[in-house]
Structure 1
């Protein structure tokens, strides 16, 4: 593999599972014929296989969706410098916190919340961009995770935030998370559910596939202990982990520093399909092309 090939694991994948070498070889044989896709290493192929539970057809579809959505949505996937003014704004008002310990089933836990509730700072597309940058870093740091539990804390969210959600960015984000993001999503919990959640769901529900709807749960406070024991939470949620802001700042430092900053910038420019080389067949994601997302 060429040293210029893109990798999802900045520091390399620990404990590479060689028992899947044949699967990787099969996907590599197919991938090398996709002239419109960028050059990636075998660890990238393995990540997609793992996320798709080693189903080859689903893996190929996820790969195609991944690179095509990124190519057709530059507002969300290009200009990924974590030190840019716009991304710094997101990292100031938001919290992206990976919890230090896994669940008993070996699942990683990611918690998202608002640090500053000022709606004037909230730009939905920029928030999604930073969210995807954070998730790329987590995939790199976590390796082949058995699964992810995602917590969205609505405390401090208002109708003003909801009013700033833009449909093109939301549509792209939902397609990406469900059809392209190479991770095993196990549970999604909405904490401190806001009174206007029904209005949110009227907008979002048509974009949610049944598989995701089945793992989406709403809570007035925290999920029951059988999902996540209280001790795993940050200290400001009653747990034993560092505070949300401390965890966020640790992650922010990783994103902003070498080697991740350079990697995020590079992948923003190169980790996408090249439609000029695509076989003459209309892309299923063509309607995203040229969309101006605010």
Structure 2
């Protein structure tokens, strides 16, 4: 049974809510066609709150349309994407935590700041996120593990804060996942500088989800058992290098999806009741 089929048996999923969303979509001519399966995905991520789901859908498509540097050119064969695959590890770990949450892992392969491009790195990160969502769109939750080893001040100065703001708005208000925790391993002094820069963009709810781990990182075991972590961190899974190699093969298998998905964007010429949205400086109709 697929995740969609399983979720259709969830008593929280009500036919009247789906019908309300479909009727609302009929009045939102600027939005692309959205399948019933994707409506269920959005409802699930918003804990079946219809009004919140409408906001999530609006933010999801509007931001993806308006930051093409992240959500276009997603062919892994492109040189800029190849460069980032050589610099960074991107992995959806092959097991879930005890609560059934997916675990996404991200770290550096190459720690030279001049080889790091934030927009290119973010593009592949959200390709990974999209693939994870498509494979299980009604997951009970997602955990992010970020290994800060090798990151330094030189990486921070390569950030575009305007783009960071838009991405964080997308993650907090438009990404259709139930984010359950963010764990930063090998926390170094640069992380304090980074947090001071991005804290104004973080909701109090998201700030509560962030956990920092230092020293031997053993405090991560209070949140994730060793069976959920790579060998590099005292875990029972294969090494980060082995897991990353396998996951990139999986990502390549989604190339047709990434190409097709770029057709689903907003048409601002058809948007009604335009008003300014302070979060991403784009029009919004909700």
Give the TM-score taking structure 2 as reference length.
0.91
Higher relative contact order (CA 8 A, sep 6+): 1
Return closer, same or farther for 1:74/1:137 CA change in 2, 3 Å cut-off.
Answer: same
1:203 Cα shift? Answer: 0.4
Matched, 1:210 2:214: no
Structure 1 counterpart of 2:221: 225
Q: After alignment, is 93-102 or 24-33 more displaced?
A: 24-33
Any residues of structure 2 matched to 1:1-294 within 5 Å, and which?
Answer: 13=4, 15-18=6-9, 19=11, 20-22=13-15, 23-220=17-214, 221-257=217-253, 260-268=254-262, 270-284=263-277, 287=281
2:241 & 2:95 partners in 1: Cα distance? 16
1:248 & 1:103 partners in 2: Cα distance? 19
* RMSD (Å) for aligned C-alpha atoms: 1.8
Check whether the contact 1:192–1:222 (CA below 8 A) recurs between aligned residues.
no
1:82 & 1:54 partners in 2: Cα distance? 35
CA deviations over 1:7-39 (Å, ceiling 9, x no partner) = xxxx98453424425122221221122110001
Return closer, same or farther for 1:194/1:288 CA change in 2, 3 Å cut-off.
Answer: farther
1:286 Cα shift? Answer: 6.2
Structure 1: state its 5+ residue gaps: 1-10, 290-294
CA deviations over 1:112-142 (Å, ceiling 9, x no partner) = 1001112121000111111111100011123
Give the TM-score taking structure 1 as reference length.
0.89
Structure 2: state its 5+ residue gaps: none
Return closer, same or farther for 1:262/1:224 CA change in 2, 3 Å cut-off.
Answer: closer
Q: After alignment, is 112-121 or 15-24 more displaced?
A: 15-24
1:43 Cα shift? Answer: 0.8
